Amino acid sequence: MSTSDMRFLIREVRLFDGVAARPSANVLVRDGKVLDVAAEAPEGWPVVEGAGRTLLPGLIDSHTHVRPGRLEQAVQFGVTTELDMFADPAQVAELKRKAAANPEMADLRSAGIGATAPGGHPRVGFPDHARISSPSEADQFVADRVAEGSDYLKIVVDNGISRKDVLPSLDSATVAALVKAAHGHGLLAVAHATDQAAAVMALDAGVDGLAHLFVDGPPAADFGVGKAFVIPTLTVLNGLWGDPAGSRALLADPLVRPHLDYESVAVLGHGGYAPAGYRQGPEFAVEALRQVRAQGARVLAGTDASAPTVAHGASLHQELALLVEAGLTPLEALAAATSVPAEVFGLADRGVVEAGRRADLVLVDGDPTVDILATRAIVGVWRGGVRVR
């Protein structure tokens, strides 16, 4: 690596540091970390011009399902960290190893195998040891996930109602036992629930966060998440339960389309699958989001990529736009993809542009603190101080 790669200055750039915006800053990077956010630009440093541009922390997608080739796609769109929510642990370990050595892949954290009932969601694609039948199995299940390297625990509470299906699902005692076991190992417990009753049951059991919001009806007047966080995943809820036109519009965006690989083009063009005539939809998730935000809930941006209609990296920009449509300010939406997930998931080295943090950075034309669509106008991405080609 050349000296110019080891240190550089992003000069006179508008800065969103993960929490707040400032109109102009000089950001110094050395040896993969932010050295300083200085008022004055030093002499002799290699320069990246920031005039008319905005610098952001590297984006964090808080709900994905990783597969080979997808971390490379993610980082092209400024997503420097993915939080996987259910994947094969052997594959995760290999991808983590590769990403640690290759800055042109997004960094990765993962739940590994999630907990679900025998015959439950997801019905295919995962081994029998993803299944748990009773509270007595919870301690061993979580210990096995820790041994495999899981960074947090995913719990699937889903009886199929949101898809007009009938599936076995975990009962409340088993969910509570899983949460207790996860906390005993210092892990967060995150619940998949796409109907309101399942979300309430998971929250009553003490989960730390919801990996989706629900689509089966409007929130009850007393619905709240307490101290739990929410990952609304409005992009996938729109794509699968509502109108996938938003994903197709993303596919047609001239700031996006040239940077998509073949697989991403295919998934963004995919249609939804909501049963005809079934009263459900993403508008209920938006209502729930507005309600819990009024109660002070923390919101994290996540997409559910590799689901149909959702592409790694690109769809996080759609999620940011949908969060703003749902009532978040652009600053709040940007924080939901940077500092908030970093804090919630204990990623203390990233999510904020300040001295000592990793130089995971995204430079865009324009001002996404005013117009959230400007996040798509990417000029440069750095992961660990190394510029992505």
Same domain as 232, residue 258: yes
Q: What percent of the chain shows pLDDT beyond 90?
A: 84
Same domain as 202, residue 95: yes
The domain that holds 207 is classified in CATH as: 3.20.20.140
Same domain as 206, residue 109: yes
> Which of 387, 336, 155, 153 is closest to 233 using CA atoms?
336
Residue 66, both tokens: 């990783």
Q: Report the alpha-carbon distance of residue 88 to residue 86 in Å, rounded.
A: 7
Residue 146, both tokens: 């820790």
DSSP state of 98: H
Q: Considering the chain, what is the average pLDDT of its residues?
A: 93
Q: Report the alpha-carbon distance of residue 23 to residue 5 in Å, rounded.
A: 26
Same domain as 261, residue 133: yes
Q: Report the alpha-carbon distance of residue 228 to residue 215 in Å, rounded.
A: 19
| Dihedral sign for Cα atoms in the order 95, 100, 104, 106 | positive
Same domain as 359, residue 277: no
Tell me whether residue 23 is exposed, middle or buried, using C-beta atoms within 10 angstroms of its C-beta: 0 to 12, 13 to 18, 19 or more. Answer: exposed
Does residue 120 register a pLDDT over 90? no
* Residue with token string 């490379």: 72
Same domain as 282, residue 239: yes
Same domain as 279, residue 193: yes
Same domain as 279, residue 388: no
Per-residue burial over 153-191, b = 16 or more CB atoms within 10 Å of its CB, e = otherwise: bbbbbbbbbbbeeebbbbbeebbbbbbbbbeeeebbbbb
Cα 152 → chain centroid:
14
Same domain as 215, residue 69: yes
The mean pLDDT value for 134-148 works out to 97
The amino acid that residue 9 corresponds to is: L
Of the pLDDT bands very low, low, confident and very high (cuts 50, 70, 90), residue 4 is very low
According to DSSP, the β-strands at 361-365 and 378-383 are antiparallel
Whether the Cβ atoms of residue 57 and residue 353 lie closer than 8 Å to each other: yes
Does residue 53 register a pLDDT over 50? yes
Query: What's the confidence (pLDDT) of residue 275?
Result: 55
Q: pLDDT tens digits for 318-366?
A: 999 999 999 999 999 999 999 999 999 999 999 999 999 999 999 999 9
Residue 340, both tokens: 């908030």
Same domain as 119, residue 197: yes
Structural domains in the chain (count): 2
Of residues 31 and 281, more confidently modeled? 31
φ/ψ of residue 243, rounded to 5:
-115, 115
Tell me whether residue 44 is exposed, middle or buried, using C-beta atoms within 10 angstroms of its C-beta: 0 to 12, 13 to 18, 19 or more. Answer: exposed
How are strands ordered across the β-sheet holding 79-84?
59-64, 79-84, 107-110
Whether the Cβ atoms of residue 313 and residue 66 lie closer than 8 Å to each other: no
Expressed as residue numbers, the domain containing 145 is 59-349
Q: Report the alpha-carbon distance of residue 384 to residue 284 in Å, rounded.
A: 39
Query: What's the confidence (pLDDT) of residue 259?
Result: 93
Query: What's the confidence (pLDDT) of residue 272?
Result: 64
Whether the Cβ atoms of residue 50 and residue 63 lie closer than 8 Å to each other: no
Does residue 51 register a pLDDT over 50? yes
Query: What's the confidence (pLDDT) of residue 279?
Result: 53
The domain that holds 22 is classified in CATH as: 2.30.40.10
Same domain as 16, residue 104: no
Same domain as 177, residue 68: yes
Specify whether the backbone of 7 is left (phi greater than 0), alpha (psi in -120 to 50) or beta. Answer: beta
pTM: 0.96
Residue 75, both tokens: 């980082």
Whether the Cβ atoms of residue 32 and residue 49 lie closer than 8 Å to each other: no
Q: pLDDT tens digits for 251-286?
A: 999 999 999 999 999 999 876 665 554 557 899 999
